[in-house]
Structure 1
């Protein structure tokens, strides 16, 4: 059993659909109103049926009051890291410290190439992500002297001026599944942000994946608990239970609490665009899960 001790976060994973034009914004405002911690949007800049995720995040931040916003996850091959760093710092400042950076190495390479991006092999994409994170963190470190210099294979900056500093210590949450990426998350990330349905064998994959992250953290001289473990989840609320995340809210709470106490997952992001499900998740599942975890931790 592994519990990394983080406070619990509950959020939404909203489709950034461009039609109806305000649907994603309305669901984000609802997430804020019902007391969730986080609103996230997937980032596929090559899909004309979606709003541009960065523009959407900025608009949502201006329409909400307390909820944090993040990409889930940003498509690095189409978002240059130095520009991404400054955009992130600006949005964090303008929102009063409510932005977190979800980022991924890229996928859907045909579509990325179609938008002018560069196709990378899996190992190359991991190396490129590591270079990008070094650049991003360097630009955020406004109090350090001298410009940022990173002469990477895929990304280079040559004396880029630092700043602005974000309003708070922006967390870098990384999406990934393979051992090399997981070790990079342990080495450089503040959080792991996978989707449960993408795990080949579901929850049973979590111990092995956590171990890769832990090994990466330890090799870099970090405490494994420095990396928050999160999950994008989907399910169905029903009067009777019939499996994982299919059943009444109390069952959901018990199953999510078990994921926290057994596998260290402390961020749960509900996928889907159903306003009723979002309200039930916020009003019933989140508080019950927090109570169960708090009682067990005590």
Structure 2
């Protein structure tokens, strides 16, 4: 089981905060450091000192780390033009020596779009944009050296783009797709995904979505086993009940609620929860949503006591 650390910097984190967590992620042997791609806080958090740009952040972290993989869960298709995004991600992949995993979604958070004046089409049009972006970004990366890439769609048109720079990984960085849509999401995953992620859902819901993705793969003649199954869950672990309760309180969650809706409790409880989730869904990769970025001891505990039992 790959364990990855997943952060939500829009809730209030500077680049230096993220750097400390990324280095602790690497030092403690986790597989990857991921971050959300949002520009506005959610809920009652202050959001101070304000948002940080995901790909600017990851480019910097690429030079400050040496082993862990880096990526987003997930970049919104509404935020950036696909050609520009392809260039940015390829550059970060080069800067990291080929350690980027690229998560892309359709976008969903209305409030941040309104706050920053970013257009937020209705869901059907948004999915059309998303599908075109996946074609363009992967097409630019996979175009052979010396050739050009053109695309004609409803929302984007490219004419003889040089398809540069190339990412360090060939033919491209792994693509992560997720979400709960029952038709178009599995179909896009079957075409483009190297990994499919179910986020913050129970095991039965996750298993059903993975089955839809498998069916979509079979429909186009793709082997479903070629797509990694992953999940994201909030995490709050303590050596004992008191330490767990303190960590739950620090992220504004009730102990009973976070146990029901996340990976939470004592070490033994969390190991058991992960085991049951893995058995029910077949996941081989888990993103641990760490919300208190000041508590680096939390990462050390997960690495030393939880990870070794998996």
Kindly indicate whether residue 39 of structure 2 is the aligned counterpart of residue 36 of structure 1.
no
5+ unaligned residues in a row in structure 1: which ranges? 1-7, 290-298
Which residue number corresponds to residue 264 of structure 1? 282
For 2:108 and 2:264, locate their aligned partners in 1 and report how far apart those are by CA, in whole Å. 30
Kindly indicate whether residue 264 of structure 2 is the aligned counterpart of residue 246 of structure 1.
yes
C-alpha change, 1:146 and 1:116, in structure 2 (3 Å) is farther
Question: 1:99 Cα shift?
Answer: 0.8
For 1:154 and 1:45, locate their aligned partners in 2 and report how far apart those are by CA, in whole Å. 24
Which residue number corresponds to residue 71 of structure 1? 72
Contact 2:203 2:280 in 1 (8 A): no
For 1:184 and 1:257, locate their aligned partners in 2 and report how far apart those are by CA, in whole Å. 29
For 2:148 and 2:14, locate their aligned partners in 1 and report how far apart those are by CA, in whole Å. 44
- Please give the per-residue CA displacement for 1:143-196, whole angstroms capped at 9, x wherever unaligned: 266421221122221221123322224111023111122332223211123321
Of 175, 181, 185, 2:178 maps to 175
Question: 1:267 Cα shift?
Answer: 1.3
C-alpha change, 1:15 and 1:111, in structure 2 (3 Å) is closer
Of 273, 283, 297, 2:304 maps to 283
For 1:262 and 1:19, locate their aligned partners in 2 and report how far apart those are by CA, in whole Å. 34
5+ unaligned residues in a row in structure 2: which ranges? 42-46, 245-255
Which residue number corresponds to residue 294 of structure 1? none
For 1:19 and 1:40, locate their aligned partners in 2 and report how far apart those are by CA, in whole Å. 14
For 2:223 and 2:231, locate their aligned partners in 1 and report how far apart those are by CA, in whole Å. 21
For 2:265 and 2:13, locate their aligned partners in 1 and report how far apart those are by CA, in whole Å. 31
Contact 1:141 1:163 in 2 (8 A): no
Moved more, 131-140 or 172-181: 172-181
Contact 1:81 1:136 in 2 (8 A): yes
TM-score under structure 1 normalisation? 0.85
Which residue number corresponds to residue 188 of structure 1? 192
Moved more, 17-26 or 260-269: 17-26
For 1:29 and 1:74, locate their aligned partners in 2 and report how far apart those are by CA, in whole Å. 22
Of 9, 31, 39, 2:2 maps to 9
C-alpha change, 1:251 and 1:114, in structure 2 (3 Å) is closer
Count of residue pairs the alignment pairs up = 278
Contact 2:237 2:265 in 1 (8 A): yes
* Paired residue secondary structure (1:143): coil
For 2:64 and 2:20, locate their aligned partners in 1 and report how far apart those are by CA, in whole Å. 9
* Paired residue secondary structure (1:246): strand
Question: 1:66 Cα shift?
Answer: 0.6
Which residue number corresponds to residue 59 of structure 2? 58
Moved more, 245-254 or 29-38: 245-254
Contact 1:101 1:170 in 2 (8 A): yes
Contact 2:14 2:52 in 1 (8 A): no
Contact 2:179 2:199 in 1 (8 A): no
